[in-house]
Amino acid sequence: MHRSLVRSAVLGLGLLVAAAGIGQAQAQTRVTLKSAASSSSYYVMMVQLSEMLRTASGGAILPTVEESQGSVQNVKEAARRPGAFVFTTPPSLLTAARNGTGQFEGETGYDRIRTLAVVPFITIHLVVSEASGITNAAELTGATFIPGGTGTFCEGRTQSVLSLLGVADAMQLVDTELGNAAPALRNQRVDGFATCSSHPVPLLQELATTTPVRILSLDAEQRATILDADPLAGPITIAANTYAGQTEAVDTVAVPVGLFGTEAMDDDTAYGIVSAFWEQRDRLAEENAWWAGVSPELVMLMGTPLHAGALRYYEEIGVEIPDSMR
């Protein structure tokens, strides 16, 4: 399914993106793109980006997409990977990494990370089986639940959300990889799970076609509680019929996500990646609606200084960049 999505997204690109500046990258530049598990929308995005860069550069850019267990792994690898290493993560994880807190306690090497662009936000999905009878997040007390993949940003964020909603201590949280969530729910070994990815999530699309599921909608008070605790988070609505059997809109929350690299990447390669991405954003959105929600100005939410090559592009298109991002 992912390959067909990507193939349709890049049809007709041809030489149109050459004007975006990707040709300025050095010949035969190898770029590693690291995102998330292959069942996530972010993996699909990285494959789309890979195909776009390869086509735009006429093969001068040689992108390789690597699967990841999530943003924490991406950030940790960025501290030691050489060359053009490009990855996705919520900006809050980079703050923790630079401060050596949380899952990055005692670690160093994260000051070399630089912002490239902003990508579609993480949508928090709280998914339960219809057989569980759960219709509201407040009813999760007593539920057996997988709060995202072990050690991932999603797991930490979901546990925070469940705590803010006052149900975490009364739930049975299962520690496992997210790839085990769909079969566990289908076989009624768990009542539900959380997945954190831009919607629609491929894993959930596939599950919903074979198993009756419910994505829990947060009421106004629940959303306000979560958003008050995280100024960077924002409200988001999953339109009705996004997933099979989902006949009503779902109100939930979203977290910003960025595309990052390191100072090890040369300036022309960074410029080429960023310019190609934004010049083709509208074309990508025609194939996958999640791209329509991002714009260059949102790069201010990333909090990490821009790569020098990316900064050159944003200045060329007139985006005002504060000193803190330079």
Q: Which residues have CB under 8 Å from 221's CB, separation 6+? A: none
- The mean per-residue pLDDT over the stretch 134-159 comes to 95
Q: Please say if the pLDDT value at position 295 is more than 50.
A: yes
pLDDT of 174 over the 70 cut: yes
CA 270 from centroid of its chain's CA atoms: 20
**pLDDT score, position 59:** 83
pLDDT tops 60 at residue 10: no
Q: pLDDT of 16-46, one tens digit each? A: 343 344 444 445 799 999 988 888 899 999 9
**pLDDT given at position 12:** 37
pLDDT confidence tier of residue 128, bands split at 50, 70 and 90: very high
pLDDT tens-digit series, residues 259-289: 999 999 999 999 999 999 999 898 888 888 8
- C-alpha 259/C-alpha 191 separation (Å) is 34
Confidence check: pLDDT of 301 > 70: yes
Domains of the chain, each with CATH number or no CATH: 2-119+257-325 (3.40.190.10), 122-255 (3.40.190.10)
Q: Which residue has the higher pLDDT, 268 or 58?
A: 268
Sequence-separated (6 or more) residues with CB below 8 Å from residue 237:
249, 250, 251, 252
Give burial (CB, 10 Å; 0-12/13-18/19+) of 53: buried
